[in-house]
Amino acid sequence: MTRIAGGTPRFGRLARHFLMRLADFELVAPGGEAHQTAVTGMALLGALNFIIALGLVWREALVPPAFEQVRTVVILGDASFLVALTMLFTALAGSLAWDGFFPNKQDAMTLGCLPLRPSLLLQARVFAVLLYLAVVVLSTNLFTALALPVLGSLHNGLFEVLRALFGWGVAVTATAATVFFAQIAVQGLLLAMLPYAAYRRLSAFLQLGIVLGTFLGFFLMPSATQALTTPLDRGVWIVPWWFVGLFSTIRGGAGALPGIYAVLGLAAPALAGLGALFIYSGQYRRILRNVCEQSEAGTARNAPLRHALERVLNLVLLRNPRTRAVFWFIARTVTRNRRHRMLLAISAAIGIAWAGQTLAQSIGAGWTASKQPGSTLLAVPLELACLLVIGLRALYGMPVDLQANWSFRITERGGVAAVRQAAVRFLWTVAILPVAWLPLPVYWLLWGGTRAVVHCTFLTLTGGALLEILMRNFYKLPFACSILPGKHNLRVTFAVYAATFTFSCWFVSVLEQDMLKSASGMAVGLALPSAVWLAMAVKRHMQEQPGRIRFDETGQPELELLQLQG
């Protein structure tokens, strides 16, 4: 076998190199180890899958005998949830490996100069992609792949159990393959149709759209139990039902979905796989040959709308040069840095899906119920705005490149006032004002002009109070301050934060519902968030001291004393 330096076979060495390229190292914490991060990620997925499987087994031990009458329907619901979960994690894994599927400029300049056959490079990369997909499928289905089929055929013979195991294995493999190969096919089509510079600009937005779409699909997808009563002309458009139908058809017995779902479940991965292979093999050599001929980033084309928006913001909100510089630094970091863009997409997707579920409940109550400002409908923009603000505020603390902070340190002037002002105004511009005021025509149509304007004003004031709470003691430049490990134990506090967030949004929406019933209530309702906002602002001004920008996170004194930090 032909070998390269060190005695390692070429194919194995190349496959290992391409497999490591599939990991997005910008999402690894500074100073972290890629192998450890990958193992930790797989362990977390496996732990989540084990908890789900344990829940299925525990439910089986506690259910009454009457459960046997609805077992087939419940298994369909469980299968649809696990299929949606597999699609979500596969899509996220594909988005993380987006830049590793096809050769980039580094591959062309290093591997392209070596005496390696293009076919060998292609084979090694395809092997790495398939191995990456297999790891994702195993991590997300290791335990439920045994629990769900066995529990669904618990009182049948051994043959039926094996048949269910085989059917579920085929279903989840087809699910992951369809999502994964569809992403590769779309990426290959873009590379074939667009110049490389234009592809680089568009792929960032496509990654963002994939993350948003998969989260929305996961949270809003109807259960496969509805497929038993949904007409086929509507049901065939719900993709997860294809693979649930494939499982139910192979498994057989009562509760099987119509055969058209199984046909689509088999055809989808076959078509996606063949399309990805055809595009991949056809474009691989051309990309490897031509990628060096075009700029990696390229010059941006004229964007009159974007430039006009920038001029308006600079004229209205960003008159101070330091505030303007920090504001646009924040905007460009959030949109251009892959790690922050991906985390922002996840945060926005969770917020949209959370608010979408609340909106679906309100729509389910009927149009007549929506004519009155109920607490369910009032909570939708509040939840979305809060999650966007919280997500962006969390991103502020994640550094981009600490080695480049010297450029900020040597140019720091005038304290933190302009920096804090820019960070707050960015949250206003992106998260609060659009969510509060863009739906105004809909509110006007539903509730009339007075209630609509008061509702938007109430959201704005509530957002201002939330910003004062979240931005207190904010003395650092966003994305330029180090993170102190161990300061925030999210494993312990996550449940507390989630419960507090849910209760707060519910309480505020109920309060606003009562407020909108009368003119005096509106006045009192607008005064409450205004008073909170004013009190927090006065307290901040009284405690605020002129200081320098903080570039290194400081630990908590009690933890440093006990040496528990990190």
Residues 241 and 360 in one domain: no
Residue with token string 């089509």? 189
For residue 537, what pLDDT band results from cuts at 50, 70 and 90? confident
Which helix (H) or strand (E) is 94 found in, with range? helix 71-96
| For residues 401-415, average pLDDT | 68
Would the pLDDT of 178 be above 90? yes
Residue with token string 């439910």? 59
Residues 285 and 340 in one domain: no
DSSP state of 156: S
Asked if residue 512 lies in contact with residue 458, where contact means CB atoms within 8 angstroms, the answer is: yes
Residue with token string 């930790």? 40
The predicted pLDDT at position 391 comes to 82
The predicted pLDDT at position 4 comes to 42
Would the pLDDT of 212 be above 90? no
Residues 240 and 352 in one domain: no
Residues 289 and 332 in one domain: no
Residues 288 and 346 in one domain: no
Q: How many CB atoms lie within 10 A of CB 303?
A: 10
Could you tell me if residue 550 is inside a domain? no
Q: How many structural domains is the chain composed of?
A: 2
Mean pLDDT lowest among 41-55, 240-254, 260-274? 41-55
pLDDT tens readout for residues 465-518: 888 888 887 777 888 877 665 454 444 455 566 677 777 888 888 888 888 888
Host domain of residue 414? 322-400+410-545
CA distance 189 to 202: 12
Residues 285 and 389 in one domain: no
Residues 114 and 165 in one domain: yes
Could you tell me if residue 8 is inside a domain? no
* pTM to 2 decimal places: 0.70
More confident residue, 551 or 293: 551
